[in-house]
């Protein structure tokens, strides 16, 4: 059984163990695979793992041996699912490995806006504290989260974890979701998108990217937000119309944005948002704690084991 991992580096840059996967067959692991090298590297493989390497019809039609594709992520838009269905190729993904990790990053962004820890740290090192007459000072308004309103768009596993953390901080929780669950904690209030935009002090995007949610956050949405409100995107870059976000920040329609994802990744050095006021970035790392990556690897291997036993799990096709 030949197994090829096309782009294993972001999952495992060296701090995780590939041995459990290697016990299942002859394994070749590549840090990254450019499109022009996919055929050469995977032509004899029955099992392919991919994270962001695109496996479209043109590529898959030249890989006649492949029987199974394991996506090393939850989203699976990198694989041509229609082709796989037609040719009876099993495709699996890895759901549920990182809700707590992503929710933690949402609040890392929120707390950066409320407490400005790093900016104050720099000011101390630059000697400002030493020069003060008083025992303390602050360079930015400090915001208490208790009794503020957190709006969450999307109420899957990640949205639920974000709501739980918000509740722990004493926040009021508003949720907009495509399908309202039959049961939910009593601290969660389900509302329209407009009401969420109107009333939230912080907004977290935790919905999947679909044709309906593409550029869901746009000029009209920003116009409905409070000028004092912040938006956090640890979901998908294309949820936000970045041109409209730039305008909203520059004209102070909103107070700020915390961004972990962009529509183009890696972004160009001259990305228009990089010079905007009151915005901070992390490089698509909300998912990437060691604990979450280990869970992802464990589930991916269990997916393959189940397939080899003839009882596949987490199947897309």
Residues labelled catalytic: 236, 265, 284
- Beta bridge partner(s), residue 50: 71
Query: What residues contact residue 107 under an 8 Å CB cut-off, 6+ apart?
Result: 162, 165, 169
At residue 184, the 3 state secondary structure works out as coil
Instruction: Find out whether 204 and 162 touch, Cβ atoms under 8 Å.
Output: yes
Write out the DSSP string of 232-300.
Answer: EE-S-GGGB-HHHHHHHHHTTSSSEEEES--SSSSPPTT-GGGG-SSEEE--S-TT--HHHHHHHHHHH
- At residue 268, what are phi and psi to the nearest 5 degrees? -70, 155
Q: How many CA atoms lie within 13 A of 253 on its CB side?
A: 20
Q: What is the dihedral of CA 79, 298, 90, 102, to 10 degrees?
A: -40
Token couple for 277:
């006021």
């Amino acid at each position: 059984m030949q197994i090829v991992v096309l782009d294993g580096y972001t999952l495992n840059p060296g701090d995780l163990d590939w041995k459990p996967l290697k016990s299942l067959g002859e394994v070749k692991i590549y840090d990254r695979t450019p499109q022009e090298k996919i055929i050469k590297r995977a032509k004899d493989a029955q099992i392919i793992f991919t994270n962001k390497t695109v496996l479209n019809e043109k590529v898959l039609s030249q890989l006649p041996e492949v029987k199974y594709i394991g996506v090393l992520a939850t989203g699976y838009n990198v694989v041509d699912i229609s082709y796989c269905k037609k040719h009876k190729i099993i495709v699996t993904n890895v759901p549920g490995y990182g809700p707590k990790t992503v929710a933690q990053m949402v609040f890392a962004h929120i707390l950066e806006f409320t407490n400005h820890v790093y900016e104050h740290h720099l000011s101390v090192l630059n000697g400002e504290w030493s020069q003060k007459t008083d025992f303390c000072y602050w360079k930015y308004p400090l915001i208490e989260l208790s009794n503020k309103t957190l709006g969450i768009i999307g109420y899957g596993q990640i949205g639920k974890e974000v709501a739980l953390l918000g509740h722990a901080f004493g926040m009021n929780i508003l949720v907009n979701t495509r399908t309202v669950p039959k049961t939910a904690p009593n601290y969660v209030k389900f509302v329209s998108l407009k009401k969420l935009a109107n009333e939230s002090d912080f907004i977290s995007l935790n919905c999947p990217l679909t044709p309906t949610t593409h550029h869901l956050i746009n000029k009209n949405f920003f116009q409905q937000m409070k000028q004092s409100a912040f938006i956090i995107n640890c979901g998908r870059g294309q949820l936000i119309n970045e041109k409209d976000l730039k305008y909203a920040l520059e004209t102070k329609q909103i107070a700020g944005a915390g961004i972990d994802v962009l529509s183009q990744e890696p972004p160009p050095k001259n990305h228009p948002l990089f010079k905007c006021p009151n915005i901070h970035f992390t490089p698509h790392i909300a998912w990437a704690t060691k604990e979450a990556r280990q869970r992802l690897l464990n589930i991916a291997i269990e997916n393959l084991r189940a397939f080899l036993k003839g009882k596949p799990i987490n199947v897309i096709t």
